[in-house]
Amino acid sequence: MPDCLPPLEHPRRPSQALPPGAWDTHCHVFGPPERFPYAEGRSYTPPDAPFERLAALHRHIGVKHAVVVQAACHGADHRALLDALAQSQGRYRGVAVIAPDIPQAELLAMHAAGVRGARLNFVPHLGTPPDAATVLALADRIAPLGWHLCLHVDGASLPGLLPLLKRLPLPYVVDHMGRVQAARGLDDPAFRGLLSLAAEPAAWVKISGIDRISQGKRPFHDGLPFMRALADAMPQRLLWGSDWPHPNVRGDMPDDGEVVDALFLAVPDAALRHRILVDNPAQLYEFA
């Protein structure tokens, strides 16, 4: 049985239209388990959230392209992810969860299917974080393909990871604004460390998961100053994502129309929003 809340059935439409060609660079597909079983020993069981519902959500909010990120509940079984990429007919990219010793043939097949990154979890409730040797070995395997590392970290783990990140030989993306805590303010050392990545040419950040840094009440506007600060610091390497279907939400379930509206509030300049929503992801995810 699912132990996570489902996403809202009827999110409202955003107040303003996203630019043509907009990307959602962080979303998931889950199940259905009769086709795509969940992993044994998983830390959570989500409600089903198949490709059809994700595509409907994207039509509703005005997204054309997306990045489907492999979630911990599916482990290393990428069938749901690869099915979503195939059904998107080239409009979506993927981020996989792989080991450094993955066979080269499997790696090349993922690349051909549209995968462009590998995700590593440093959030303790999702499992034991990888050590530095594992991170560097994985980076060496995927760098020749032009892939990047996608890093799921939290405010507690981020400061200790910064020296390792600066050693990476490829681009890397920090998910969900590093899951810093808005209640600690903009001067929190974890957030200052995240902002310091503006000086690192290989570093990218997703201004996704506003609810995950918020104190948990819609519309999560206590996260807006953090989005603004990142947009000011590193606009050329910033990405936006919905985080649908919002697994493991601990506060209010986000309304995806409000999530889009939060971006407009945090980034009022249309040219900068276009860079974040269209130009930056097209560059990182190799979409001509």
Is 49 a domain residue?
Answer: yes
Question: Among 243, 255, 256, 261, which one carries the catalytic annotation?
Answer: 243
How high is the pLDDT of residue 127? 74
Is 16 a domain residue?
Answer: no
Is 15 a domain residue?
Answer: no
Q: Given CA atoms 65, 44, 123, 148 in this order, what sign does their dihedral have?
A: negative
How high is the pLDDT of residue 1? 82
Known catalytic residue: 243? yes
Is 7 a domain residue?
Answer: no
| CA atoms of 66 and 56, how far apart (whole Å) | 12
How high is the pLDDT of residue 128? 84
- Domain range for residue 183? 23-286
| CA atoms of 197 and 3, how far apart (whole Å) | 35
Measured from the Cβ of residue 34, the count of other Cβ atoms closer than 10 Å reads: 7
174: which strand partners?
151, 205
Structure tokens at 281: 């992801």
Give the CATH number of the domain where residue 230 resides. Answer: 3.20.20.140
Q: Which residues does 131 contact at the CB level (< 8 Å), separation at least 6?
A: none
How high is the pLDDT of residue 125? 72
Average confidence (pLDDT) per 10 residues, the chain, 288 residues: 92 98 98 94 93 98 98 94 98 97 97 98 83 96 98 92 93 97 97 96 98 96 98 98 95 97 98 98 92
Is 166 a domain residue?
Answer: yes
Q: State the total domains in the chain.
A: 1
How high is the pLDDT of residue 63? 98
Is 56 a domain residue?
Answer: yes
Is 151 a domain residue?
Answer: yes
Task: Outline where 69-157 has alpha helix (H).
Answer: 79-87, 104-113, 132-142
Distances (CA, A) of 219 to 24, 124, 222, 224: 19, 27, 9, 10
How high is the pLDDT of residue 2? 85
Is 210 a domain residue?
Answer: yes
Residue 193 · residue 168 · CB < 8 Å: no
